[in-house]
Amino acid sequence: MTNRELKAKIAFTAIRASALIVVAVACLLILHIVVNGYKIVSWSFILDSPRRGMTAGGIFPAIYGTVCLIVLTLAFALPIGLASAIYFSEYFGSKWSSLVIITRAASNILAGVPSIVYGLLGLGLFVLLTGFGFSLLSSSLTLSFLTLPVIIAASEEALHSVPLAYREAALALGATRWQTVRHAVLPYAIPGMITASILALSRAAGETAPILLTGAAYFLPRLPTSIFDQFMALPFHIFTLSTQSVNPAITRPIQYGTVLVLISLVLGMNLVAIMIRAYYRKRVRALL
Amino acid sequence: MNRRHKHSRAIERIIEGSLVVCSLASILILAVIFIFLFYEGVPAFRDISPHEFFLGTVWQVQAVEPAYGILPLLSGSTLVTTGAMVIAVPLSLLCSVYMAEVARPALREITKPFIELLAGIPSVVYGFVALTVLADITYELTGAVHRLNALNGALILAVMVSPTIISISEDAIGSVPREYREAAYALGADRWQTTSKVVFPAALSGIMVSIMLGLGRAIGETMAVLMATGNAPLLTFDILSSVQTMTAVIAIEMGEVTFGSTHFHALFAVGLVLLLITSVVNVTAEIVLQRFRSVRY
């Protein structure tokens, strides 16, 4: 074997090994959580409230809180995110094109702002300045700020993947810009945009740092009834049980169960998003 | 007809106008973030001299004479982030070469979901695993004094930033034109020479972007490092020591702080420093990306 062949052999072995390591880490992680978590997860674990100072019972309030957060975040972020993406992608080149470049850059920088900084913003702006207090409202507004750049970037990509010819055909038929967007572009871009939004929301569902500063509670005796109430949430529940409680070892099974539920929720949302994308891709292909 | 035409033009205007307003949201949010962190962070310097804050070697807020020196937090963030990048960059780049150049399509399709899986797991779950499992392993293997230490944080952080680096590098390598490879093969280069001397350099700017975005993510990561590193604000460069990062100090101490106090503002000042660092990293990445795009297309 020549020197050159040996070098190549070592290099390709390292390349294959590193891919294997990444896959192995992912497998081990999920396996570990499933093996330790599945024993405790049952209907009563999901539908029950915590009992005996959180050492027994279920996690229903945390699931409920996280679902509320997702729904509210969706309501705040989706309209603005989709509108931004449509503007960036479809109106580029009209009068405010330099504005588009700046806003797009701003959106990219936003995507890199650490989540704890969003938490600080939420604390300063929503909890203290506007007086929403520690509440579902403050937290979901903070999370919608955080998901907005993700929704924008991914929706823009979905819009870009619609062939230019569709727009040209619509414009040639005398459609206005909005009519073009509405009838020639959106029908094909919507699945991609939905996928993007679900992925962004799944990220929001797992965020801990922002809600830690804006309204998540360690334990609440009853469910939140208004958007101005504090709430329990799955990621925060994991954090507090494993670090803040007096004896984390006692509640270890509950912690694993909560982790499993959170992961199932987040990855389940991802799966739904991927399935929607696959389904519509097939349908659009059939149309072409 | 004419009237209808006018009518639809008005609607067009309204729609375009509202889209413009919505698209301003990102600029507004970015502006609000900076304004707020300055607004709440700068008052810290009424009670703490900038000299003490930026050059102080002790962060000790519970003491009778509290000290607000950011250096231990900076060293904590630097140590954990550097450790994570040292592990993640080679691993991720090799893996991205595998995905883009080496793997057969079928294997690639099998590998990709695992990387997406790693990207989708919430950071608190990584923190939990680092706290309960990984800590025992690193503790046993290294004989560290503290069970939770910077190495533990660096390891878990490496796993967390890898998907970012892998997927962006993979795109960069994949977008290198086929002609480059064919030209190299035609000149008699073997597969490894083509990959390392032609494809990799051609994709280098995209790869740099992926590393910078990974770095930005690593510096800003909160929950995982908070749970993994032991939260002791020590000014040290010993990877086996407990440390506290800038992100962790905010998350931990903001819960027990009196609003409006010096401590409260000091935490915002730490957040401001963090924001400035990550923004510089991300803006640099953005500039490289723009240049890369304008060169290629």
Contact B33 A121 (CB under 8 A): yes
3-state SS of chain A is CCHHHHHHHHHHHHHHHHHHHHHHHHHHHHHHHHHHHCCCCCHHHHHCCEECCCCEECCHHHHHHHHHHHHHHHHHHHHHHHHHHHHHHHCCCCCCHHHHHHHHHHHHHHHCCCHHHHHHHHHHHHHHHCCCCCCHHHHHHHHHHHHHHHHHHHHHHHHHCCCHHHHHHHHHCCCCHHHHHHHHHHHHHHHHHHHHHHHHHHHHHHCCHHHHHHCECCCCCCCCCCCCCCECCHHHHHHHHHHHCCCCCCCHHHHHHHHHHHHHHHHHHHHHHHHHHHHHHHHHHHHC
pLDDT in tens, B152-184: 999 999 999 999 999 999 989 988 888 999 999
- Of B133, B268, B286, nearest to A108 by CB-CB distance is B286
CA distance A132 to chain B (A): 15
Report pLDDT for B1.
Answer: 45
Contact B275 A255 (CB under 8 A): no
A39 touches chain B (CB under 8 A): no
Q: Which residues of A touch B282 (CB under 8 A)?
A: 108-109, 111-112
Q: Return the CATH number of the domain spanning residue range B50-296.
A: 1.10.3720.10
Report pLDDT for B297.
Answer: 39
Task: Tell which A residues from 44 to 73 touch B, by Cβ distance under 8 Å.
Answer: none
**Which residue's structure tokens are 């070098």?**
A7
Name the residue with higher pLDDT: B276 or A100: B276
Q: Which residue of B has its CA nearest to A14?
A: B94
B35 touches chain A (CB under 8 A): no
Q: Which residues of B touch A268 (CB under 8 A)?
A: none
- Of A22, A105, A148, nearest to B115 by CB-CB distance is A22
Contacts of A104 (CB under 8 A, 6+ apart): A88
| Residue A93 pLDDT grade (very low, low, confident, very high; cuts 50, 70, 90) | low
| Residue among A92, A97, A208, A255 with most chain B CBs within 10 A, to mutate | A208
Average pLDDT in chain B:
88
Q: Which residues of A touch B128 (CB under 8 A)?
A: 238-239, 242, 255, 259
Give the CATH number of the domain where residue A86 resides. Answer: 1.10.3720.10
Q: Which residue of A has its CA nearest to B104?
A: A16
Report pLDDT for A106.
Answer: 83
Task: Tell which A residues from 262 to 281 touch B, by Cβ distance under 8 Å.
Answer: 262-263, 266-267, 270
Contact B279 A109 (CB under 8 A): yes
Q: Is residue A37 part of a domain?
A: no
CA atoms lying within 13 Å on the CB side of residue B24: 9
Average pLDDT in chain A:
86
Q: Is residue A12 part of a domain?
A: no
B64 touches chain A (CB under 8 A): no
CA distance B246 to chain A (A): 10
Q: Is residue A3 part of a domain?
A: no
Contact A22 B166 (CB under 8 A): yes
pLDDT in tens, A174-228: 888 888 888 888 888 888 888 888 888 998 999 999 999 998 887 777 788 888 8
Averaged pLDDT for residues A112-116: 92
Averaged pLDDT for residues B127-145: 88
Lowest-pLDDT choice from A73-82, A223-232, B261-270: A223-232
Report pLDDT for B219.
Answer: 94
Report pLDDT for B94.
Answer: 94
Q: Is residue A20 part of a domain?
A: no
CA distance B251 to chain A (A): 7
CA atoms lying within 13 Å on the CB side of residue B202: 20
| Cβ–Cβ under 8 Å, residues A117 and A210 | no
What is the domain extent for residue A159?
A: 43-287
pLDDT in tens, A150-182: 888 888 888 888 888 888 898 899 888 888 888
Q: Which residues of A touch B120 (CB under 8 A)?
A: 202-203, 266-267, 270
CA distance B197 to chain A (A): 12
- Of A21, A29, A109, nearest to B30 by CB-CB distance is A109
H or E segment to which residue B67 belongs: strand B67-68
Contact A209 B122 (CB under 8 A): no
pLDDT in tens, B53-86: 898 888 888 777 888 889 999 999 999 999 999 9
CA distance B223 to chain A (A): 7
CA distance A81 to chain B (A): 8
Averaged pLDDT for residues B131-144: 86
Report pLDDT for B220.
Answer: 92
Report pLDDT for A25.
Answer: 94
Q: Is residue A207 part of a domain?
A: yes
B17 touches chain A (CB under 8 A): no
Tell me the whole-structure pTM to 2 decimals: 0.90
Q: Is residue A171 part of a domain?
A: yes
Can you give the residue ranges of every domain in chain B? 2-46, 50-296
Name the residue with higher pLDDT: B64 or A69: A69
Q: Is residue A123 part of a domain?
A: yes
- Of A27, A107, A270, nearest to B120 by CB-CB distance is A270
Q: Is residue A198 part of a domain?
A: yes
- Could you give the number of structural domains in chain A? 1
